[in-house]
Amino acid sequence: MVERSRRQVLVTGGMLGAAGALAAATPAWSWSSEGSVAGAGVGVDPKYVWDAEADPVVAAIIDSGQTTAVNKLLKTWTKNGQALPAGLPTQLRDFMEHARQLPTWTDTAKLKDAVNFNQKRGLYLGVTYGFVSGMMSTVIPREALAVYYSKGGADMRDRITKTAKLGYDVGSNNAFDPSGEMIVTCVKTRLAHAGVRHLLPQLAAWNNVASEDIPISQADIMVTWHSLPTTVMQNLNAWGVPINAVESAGFLHSWQVTAHMLGVLDEYIPNSWATANTQAAQVLTPILAPTPEGIKLADILVNLASFIDGSLLSKPILCALTRYFLGDEIAGWLKLPRYPFWDTAFQVAWKPFVAVREGLLSLEKAPGLLQAVYWAFDEILRIGVLTLLSGAQFPIAIQIPDTNNPN
């Protein structure tokens, strides 16, 4: 591993040509920026780009022992249109004032289309964000390691609740309006990520297993981004959910704005579903792999709903759901047990279930098995939301971490 001073140079520089300094088991970046919202770019591999604006500011706050005081002030900042709290360190305030500006290419009409999409598809979005994207994150090695060894890894329910806030905010009616909260959530997430970039490299346990010197590069963020909207849309299509093209474009737009607000350069943000799918095929699919840390996180996730039924039913259903949504190979990597009844139920009855819910099929004409499990599938859609919100301490406060996972 390179020494700390070198890391600092990388962080503050924000960009580094492909110097080979970072051993990384990821394919070289070959996605063309012509397919990005910027339409062009300088072509630097985003594996070597972090957050040149946020990282030095947050590192200075942590190193000077101001994290607790700053987090206390940040807690009071909740609405997009709200003035920043008085008393923030000047550099942080300047950064936040800049970071809260929406990109010039924001299209409010498209954001309205996204609202329609989210309203109509909200139930599916809960289950796909929660369990498809959530479980997928455990086989994204860099993310699994970062989550496991960072502060939030010590309390997964709390962490998931905070992450769910972003999923909730992006789907709310006024997400990016002055009365909404999504801009605040994105800016705070940028700060949290900057904190992780500063803290994780100081942890021997993370350094021993990580394939990079600094976590959460822009390539990493886009990988996770694809585990969210791209994967969600791919699944809704695969399940036969009717998707209105205008609303689908709106949904994409809300996530393009989100990527920008999370600090991703416009040249890495896909400008269409087609270019998103191409990028995902290059950066997400090939890197999926098991890690011991990811396996432990997946185990925590499939047991998360156990407070409802002691895991008797929820665990078999969540395991079968993961197997169906992500496939046998990933379920095998995660060492998820097979549950023949529920595995078959998903294979046979999930698509008919969606068709019945969409009014495309009558329950009487659906496979007999669906009649037996309809209630359970309906519960899954509900439990997705319940599980995520059950551990929530309202208001949900995304904070700058002051330490790594203490365990």
**Contact footprint for ligand HEM (CB under 6 A):** 142-143, 146-147, 150-152, 159, 162-163, 166, 189, 192-193, 196, 215-216, 220-221, 224-225, 228, 262, 398, 401
Question: Which residue number, 166 or 370, has a Cβ lying nearer to ligand HEM?
Answer: 166
Cβ proximity to ligand HEM: between 80 and 189 the closer is 189
CB of 95 to ligand HEM, least distance (A): 17
CB of 393 to ligand HEM, least distance (A): 12
User: For the chain, give me the number of helices (H) and strands (E)?
Assistant: 20, 0
- CB nearer to ligand HEM: give 235 or 311: 235
Distances (CA, A) of 103 to 29, 116, 338: 24, 22, 46
Place of tokens 């800049």: 98
- CB closer to ligand HEM out of 37 and 147: 147
Q: How far is the CB of 192 from ligand HEM (least distance, A)?
A: 4
Closer CB to ligand HEM, 33 or 163, in the complex: 163
Closest CA to 352 of 341, 368, 338, 328: 368
Shortest Cβ 222–ligand HEM spacing (Å): 8
Angle, CA of 324, 251 and 380, to the nearest 5°: 35
> Cβ of residue 218: shortest distance to ligand HEM, in angstroms?
9
Residue nearer to ligand HEM on the CB measure, 215 or 294: 215
Neighbours of 2 (CB within 10 A): 13
CB 210 within 8 A of CB 260: no
Nearer to ligand HEM, 51 or 343 (CB): 51
Which one, of 219, 233, 206, 234, lies nearest residue 148 by Cα?
206
Virtual CA dihedral for 126, 129, 135, 141, nearest 10 degrees? -160
Q: Between residues 228 and 298, which has the closer beta carbon with respect to ligand HEM?
A: 228
Residue nearest to ligand HEM (CB): 152
Give CA separation, 275 vs 35, 247, 272, 349, in Å: 6, 18, 5, 32
In this complex, which beta carbon is closest to ligand HEM, that of residue 248 or of residue 256? Answer: 256
User: Residue 150: beta bridge partners?
Assistant: 404
Tokens standing for residue 156: 């997964």
Fill in the DSSP letter of residue 312. T
What letter would DSSP give residue 230?
I
CA atoms within 13 A on the CB side of 346: 19
CB of 53 to ligand HEM, least distance (A): 17
Angstrom CA distances, 250 to 262, 374, 383, stand at 18, 31, 27
Query: What 3-state DSSP class applies to 103?
Result: coil
* Residue 404 CB, nearest approach to ligand HEM (Å): 8
Counted residue by residue, the chain has a size of 407
To ligand HEM, the closest distance from the beta carbon of 223 in angstroms equals: 6
Number of Cβ atoms within 10 Å of the Cβ of 107: 15
Residue type, 12: T
Q: Shortest Cβ distance from residue 335 to ligand HEM (Å)? A: 22
